[in-house]
A and B are shown apart, each in its own frame.
Chain A
Amino acid sequence: MIARLSGVASRMTRDKADTLLLLVAAVMVLAPHFGHLPLWTSATVCLTLLWRGAITLRGSRLPPMWLLLPVSLLAMGGVYLTFRTLLGREPGVTMLTLLLTFKLLEMHARRDLFVVIFLSFFLLLTNFFYSQSILTALVMVATIIVLLSAQITFQFTGAVPPLAARLKLAGRIFLIAAPLGVLLFVGFPRIQGPLWGLPGDAGAGKSGMSDTMSPGSMTSLALSEEVAFRVRFKGAAPPQELLYWRGPVLSNYDGRTWTRIGQALYPIAQLRLTRQLAWNGPSYPYEVTLEPGRRQFLFMLELSEPASNIDGASAFYTNELEQLVRASGDKRLRYDSVAHPGYLAQPGLEPQALERWLQLPQGFNPRTLRYAAQIQALRAERGDDAAIAAVLAMFRKDFEYTLEPGRLGRDAVDEFLFDARKGFCEHYSGAFVYVMRAAGLPARVVNGYQGGELNPVDGYYTVRQSDAHAWTEVWLGPQRGWKRFDPTAAVAPERIRTSLAQVLPQEAPFGLQGLTRLARDQVSWLAQMRFGISAMNNAWNQWILDYNPNRQQNFLRALTSAFGDWRLLAGLALCAGLALLMKYRRTERARDPIDAAYLAFCRQLARHGLDKAPDEGPLGLALRVRQLNLPREKIAAMTGFLELYGALKYGAPAAQRDNEPIARLNSLLKQSR
């Protein structure tokens, strides 16, 4: 392919081929931007590039300034009309793409070439606002190499090697630079950004869990395979049914929407957790890497100690045991914590404080209130646990779990409990809390994620948006505090033990049911591949995209302690020594064999007490050799060697230097030993 291209290029004049290479590089830089540029900008860029290509191929003149200037101004006006501003990220990127495109039409001096190439490098960077996947990185490497090739091309003054050779040279530069780049990446002191307030559009359009719950709010998440966060347990992992990732706690209900109380933030350091929380049973230290998204709840395994080691952000606790963070949602966030599934939460709440978890909107759901009265009677008779069990038993008996529950009217809880009898976590948890409160038990809804998929490749749990879940908490008196109840588990227990997506019937198009099942199957090779890709993505996120000051410190510390190990140091020294030896040996071999033989000969002479003067030639040396007190045949071999050396070194060069005289030289050298 390259050979054919360069064949085409060689038939063109050099100037044309060079410009075309630069155009190709510019296209490689601009093309990834088409996905997010306004349509008219992409069209303008494409048309201008085509025009530029035509100019190059036809060899006509570049457009004059009086034409370019109004066109650029017009484009600038277009950017303003589109975005209503010229500042900010999107308008900036749009203007840069237009600038690069028009600059290609205004190239007269060598300086302009550099401007084009430098602009291209910068535009390459701006593409990472939109995508930082592994594929983007690969495209970036290819683009860098083509850009470097274009830059090299313009440096030649005489003959220009074929395109393949130039690409090879650029590739070589990149390969030599790669270790240095890695070193810089790992070791260059990192500063935690942002340096200044990010323009408002930085985190726009990200999905994630909201801090309210109304009918249908979970559905969009449940169908999203996007990763919410990844978790690594530092020791053993708790069983799947304990993986409740606590997010926003919803206490207020207006008949339709559950909302947070949302007040009283405590810096974690000030929270007197010991009075409100007690840990029992096993503990599970873990590390969470939260994907960018709507902010900002730290999803914590129920219940966890305050998050620590949060990169460049500070966390807050609320009364409802939520953990929040003040950080923009446009980057990944990593934090550590320790979970204690056997917890005792806030047993000492005052009755007036508990009031707010008993409130219900007035004049809604009369049937539910009647039902709750029965439950309350049961509770008075046989205790809290029996009352809760009765409600859960009702759910278990004839309710159906579905993501398409149908529309609910004004008395949503009534319609759900007594008419539709189907729904999913948000319906179950909402109705359950409603019944509990009506029956006189303080209760609230907890949103978060349930479960997570263990990736056997790297040991990370992946929690996806589809794992979004809603469950409840009921306060069971001063001895037991808040206890978790998951009414959904009563309806679809497998929902808890595996994950949501597996419970839902897969509506595969065209009867491709088997395929989707295959993708969900842990043992099939497809699943293996999926896990492999997921692990690769995770490693990419952890080590490339999220390599921040915190991570850098930890890594360098680990590196230092590893290098303290003498075995590693010795191994490295050995490798370096071997590499040097190989290099030395290669240069030895690369030396002219005639010179090498002569050097060896001189060393031999020195052993006989005859030192070659620096200005002494082989024939002069031969005169002195004859006076040595040595056997005749040895002298003959020595003088023969010197004569042959002189002839080879200083005589007329043979048309073809063959090895025969060198072999003779070496045999003479051996004889004169």
Chain B
Amino acid sequence: MLDRWLFQLKEKEAGEVQLVMRRVFILPTRPGVAFVGLLLIMLIGSVNYNLGLGFVLTFFTGACAIVDMYMTAKNLAFLHLAPGRAQPVFAGDEAQFELHVRNTTPRSRYAVWLGFQDEGAPRQSIDVAAKGSAAVVLSRPTVGRGWLAAPRVRLSTRFPLGLFGAWSYWQPDLKVLAYPQPEVAPPPLPTTGAAREDGYGTVGLDNFSGIRNYQPGDPMRHLAWRQIARLHPADGGHLVSKHFEGGAVSDMLLDLDALSPQLDIEVRLSRLAAWVLEAERRALPYALRIGQREIAQGLGEAHCAECLRALALHGKEGA
């Protein structure tokens, strides 16, 4: 509570945030405290031995420490912070939060440390050139599926002399979607009998019928690399995909309710996630039904992402 008031910890701040001076806090570091002790000893020595130059040295180095305080604060202040992209991950993996730090001032910033506030010592440091920007990726392990909001970020710096430490807090408006963790050894894909008669297992491999222009949604593995390589970029070299005919239209439906209700819901979601990946790997079109929600049959990255997202958010807020 005190922290919240003292350090003006804010809730999520949308968009780009500028670290104004008010948000930058500063305290002497341990070497800084030692330095104050040194200055005191030097002052006492100068008084005792009446060293005129000793006073000069003491006061000038003291003034340097004060300038260091100012420079340390300025090393952090007026940086612009913006959340970057956040790629979905599978639960249990590290969620990667990309953060952008932009420096609009003509001074280069060095040795700015970033880390999550609740983690203690920061792990990453960046330099931000004058009028430049830098990106940093902070990771944090995910535990369960669903949205994982980025924790509060603590920026700190001790540059240039290390006698003072300045820090600032920022709650980026950034969240990562954690898909259910795919089951490790899932049962075989649930295929209907009708589909099996069509021999879906060989579809698309035998009935190659030619190539056509790449269309968004074509699976990566169907790209006709050999043809792509032959097309000179000057001729408008573009992507082409292999086209398959006689592709079996198997009605693979991955249905949450079809799984034994005795299984834990998380286990069932994990199994569905594993199946989605498996189907995607084998290029088998599939549909997904979770309760009331139904995703029509499809294939490809976008379809896969949509299915996994539905699985991740099943029963969660903001689904």
Contact = CB atoms under 8 A, between A and B. Distances in A.
B62 interface: yes
B110 A151 contact: no
B59 A188 contact: yes
Interface in B50-64: 50-64
Interface stretch (B79-87, B158-166, B206-214, B252-260): B158-166
A151 B67 CA distance: 14
A29 to B, nearest CB: 12
A106 interface: no
A155 B162 contact: yes
Q: Is the interface of B mostly helix, strand, loop or mixed?
A: helix
Contacts of B5: none
B39 to A, nearest CB: 9
Nearest to B29: A114
Contacts of A457: none
Nearest to B42: A125
Nearest to B127: A158
B244 to A, nearest CB: 39
B41 interface: yes
Interface string A107-119: 0000100100010
A173 B50 contact: no
| Residue with the highest number of chain A CB atoms closer than 10 Å, among B54, B160, B161, B162 | B160
Interface size class of A (residues with CB under 8 A): 35 or more
A655 interface: no
A198 B49 contact: yes
B116 interface: no
A59 to B, nearest CB: 25
A155 B49 contact: no
Interface stretch (A261-269, A542-550, A560-568, A663-671): A542-550
A122 B38 contact: yes
A544 B59 CA distance: 12
B57 A124 contact: yes
A124 to B, nearest CB: 6
A136 interface: yes
A101 to B, nearest CB: 19
A584 B125 CA distance: 34
B113 to A, nearest CB: 7
Contact of B56 (A111, A190, A544): A544
A330 B49 CA distance: 8
B111 A155 contact: yes
Interface string B17-57: 00000000000000100110010011011111111111111
B126 interface: yes
A177 B64 contact: yes
A191 interface: yes
A37 interface: no
B231 interface: no
Nearest to B68: A173
A17 interface: no
Given A144-B60, A144-B64, A114 B162 contact: yes
A198 B52 CA distance: 16
Nearest to A331: B50
Contact of A144 (B48, B51, B61): B61
A546 B52 contact: yes
Contact of A132 (B38, B51, B158, B160): B51
Interface in A83-125: 111, 114, 118, 121-122, 124-125
A178 B63 contact: yes
Interface string A164-184: 000001000110111011001
A128 B53 contact: yes
A333 to B, nearest CB: 11
A197 B66 CA distance: 33
Contacts of A159: 127
B239 interface: no
A125 B51 contact: yes
A156 interface: yes
A115 to B, nearest CB: 8
Given A137-B53, A176-B67, A180-B63, A122 B31 contact: no
A42 B160 CA distance: 33
Contacts of B176: none
B97 to A, nearest CB: 20
14 contacts: A122-B42, A128-B51, A128-B54, A137-B56, A151-B160, A156-B127, A158-B110, A177-B66, A180-B63, A185-B56, A193-B48, A193-B50, A545-B52, A547-B52
Q: Which 6 A-B residue pairings sit nearest by Cβ, starting from the closest?
A: A545-B52, A177-B63, A181-B60, A180-B63, A184-B59, A157-B125
Interface of B: 31, 34-35, 38, 41-42, 44-64, 66-68, 70-71, 110-111, 113, 125-127, 158-162
